[in-house]
Amino acid sequence: MKTTKTSTSTFVKAMTISSITLLASISSISHAELLTEQQLQQEANQKIAQFSQALKGQLQAAIKQGGLPAGVSVCKSVAPSIAAENSKDGWTIERTSLRVRNSDNVPDAWELTQLNQFEQTKAAGTQAADTPMIASQYQVNGDTTEFRYMKAIPTQELCLGCHGSNITPELSTLINQAYPDDKPSTSK
């Protein structure tokens, strides 16, 4: 998930390093100058938590009512609207991954670098399991300064039904129809 804050946008993207990463990007020199990086990170984490809670709630309700196929529908149709609803106050929220299912979520160059670093950190086992992996950066684009923030989101049990290694053939067919450009996950 991506969150971008530009006096008008924030970007949040994530997938368990190979699932969703949350990124917050803030723009506008005047706004960025008024807030410390710690304050911006705190805002980004609040946006990420709001998005994550809303999406998880929608997924759980849909799966309870209609099984995993309903969950696919939530991720495809509802998740973008939840991101849009939480993209306010200058923040933009989006999702991304090294293995995107939705081609609209392909990481940009900075996100790709961060995702690869998250993967390397995960593979090396150098970060405590309870410590979130984050990256942030100020980026100047002409007259605008953006604060970009990305946070890795670990794949939860709820996600493994569609992003795990034991997907039923029927569900796999549905996923392939919904996401023809799917880059299958190798999560276990």
- pLDDT tens across 154-170, in order? 788 888 889 888 899 99
Q: Is residue 184 part of a domain?
A: no
Q: What is the average pLDDT value for the chain, to the nearest integer?
A: 80
Residue 128 Rama label (left phi>0; alpha psi -120 to 50; beta): beta
Which of 65-91 are b and which e, b meaning 16 or more Cβ less than 10 Å from the residue's Cβ?
Answer: eeebeebbebbeebbbebbeebbeebb
Angle between helices 169-178 and 37-73 (to 10 degrees): 120
In the chain, count of helices (H) and strands (E)?
Answer: 6, 6
Q: Is residue 9 part of a domain?
A: yes
Two structure tokens written together for 123: 């593979």
Report how far apart, in Å, the C-alpha atoms of 131 and of each of 13, 27, 125, 161 are: 18, 27, 12, 25
Q: Report the C-alpha gap between 144 and 141 in whole angstroms.
A: 5
Q: How confident is the model at residue 184 (pLDDT cuts 50, 70, 90)?
A: low
Q: Report the C-alpha gap between 13 and 103 in whole angstroms.
A: 13
Q: Is residue 188 part of a domain?
A: no
pLDDT at 6: 44
Two structure tokens written together for 162: 């569609």
Domain holding 18, by residue range, is: 2-178
pLDDT at 169: 93
DSSP state letter for 105? G
Q: Is residue 186 part of a domain?
A: no
Q: Is residue 130 part of a domain?
A: yes
Whether pTM > 0.85 for this model: the answer is no
As for how many domains the chain has, the answer is 1
Give the SS3 label for residue 151: strand
Q: Is residue 81 part of a domain?
A: yes
Q: Is residue 185 part of a domain?
A: no
For the stretch 46-75, pLDDT in tens is: 999 999 999 999 999 999 999 999 999 999
Q: Is residue 187 part of a domain?
A: no
For the stretch 13-42, pLDDT in tens is: 333 333 344 444 454 445 545 678 888 889
